[in-house]
């Protein structure tokens, strides 16, 4: 599920396949964040323009389409879509099997101390340890990583 505030691929070329779609020979679903591009409602209630509401939107879509597509799911996005992907993973951590964030723009200042605190807390979890081991594997086995991912 490609999450974004303006889905360039569908706007420019509806036949475009995201790199992860091609890598996994997967279905591709693109979700445009409300209040952007063509997703601006008639009632401009900006109290609904927040990551909790967007995450609830993505969760709803995931639940409905999960009945049709029961296999593994990846959420991805870049820039504001990266922000939304991170928020979605935070609000609904079990909705997708992986989240790939290509870019993010959530820093509050040049040196945002929230990141260090967040990662210090996450490093204590088993989930983090597994992700860290996977990252080390990919870095050490760059030539084999695509084969590994296709079998995932």
8 Å CB contact between 36 and 6: yes
pLDDT score of 97 more than 80:
yes
Look at residue 105 in the predicted model and tell me its pLDDT. 73
8 Å CB contact between 85 and 76: yes
- d(C-alpha 132, C-alpha 82), whole Å: 20
pLDDT score of 145 more than 70:
no
- d(C-alpha 86, C-alpha 65), whole Å: 20
State phi, psi for 98 to the nearest 5 degrees: -155, 155
31 CB contacts (<8 Å, ≥6 apart)?
Answer: 1, 2, 3, 4, 7, 57, 58, 61
SS3 breakdown of the chain: % helix, strand, coil, rounded to 5?
50, 10, 40
8 Å CB contact between 23 and 146: yes
On average, the pLDDT of the chain sits at 79
pTM beyond 0.75: no
Instruction: Pick the range with the lowest mean pLDDT from 101-110, 112-121, 122-131, 142-151.
Output: 142-151
- Quick one: average pLDDT of 107-111? 72
pLDDT score of 151 more than 80:
no
In 3-state terms, what secondary structure has residue 152? Answer: coil
Tokens, residue 113 = 């101390």
- d(C-alpha 28, C-alpha 75), whole Å: 10
Q: What are residue 30's DSSP bridge partners? A: 2
Look at residue 4 in the predicted model and tell me its pLDDT. 52
Q: What is the pLDDT of residues 33-92, one digit of tens each?
A: 777 777 777 877 777 778 888 899 999 999 999 999 999 999 988 877 888 888 899 999
Q: What is the pLDDT of residues 11-27, one digit of tens each?
A: 566 677 778 888 888 88
């Amino acid at each position: 599920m490609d999450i974004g505030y303006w889905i360039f691929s569908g706007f420019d070329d509806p036949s475009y396949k995201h790199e992860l779609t091609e890598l996994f020979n997967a279905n591709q679903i693109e979700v445009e964040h409300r209040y952007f591009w063509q997703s601006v409602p008639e009632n401009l209630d900006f109290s609904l323009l927040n990551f909790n509401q967007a995450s609830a939107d993505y969760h709803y879509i995931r639940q409905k389409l999960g009945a049709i597509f029961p296999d593994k799911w990846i959420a991805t996005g870049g820039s504001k879509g990266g922000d939304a992907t991170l928020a979605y993973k935070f609000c609904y951590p079990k909705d997708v099997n992986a989240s790939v964030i290509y870019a993010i723009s959530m820093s509050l200042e040049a040196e945002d101390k929230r990141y260090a605190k967040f990662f210090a807390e996450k490093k204590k979890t088993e989930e983090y340890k597994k992700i860290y081991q996977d990252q080390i594997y990919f870095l050490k086995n760059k030539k084999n990583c695509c084969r590994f991912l296709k079998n995932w």
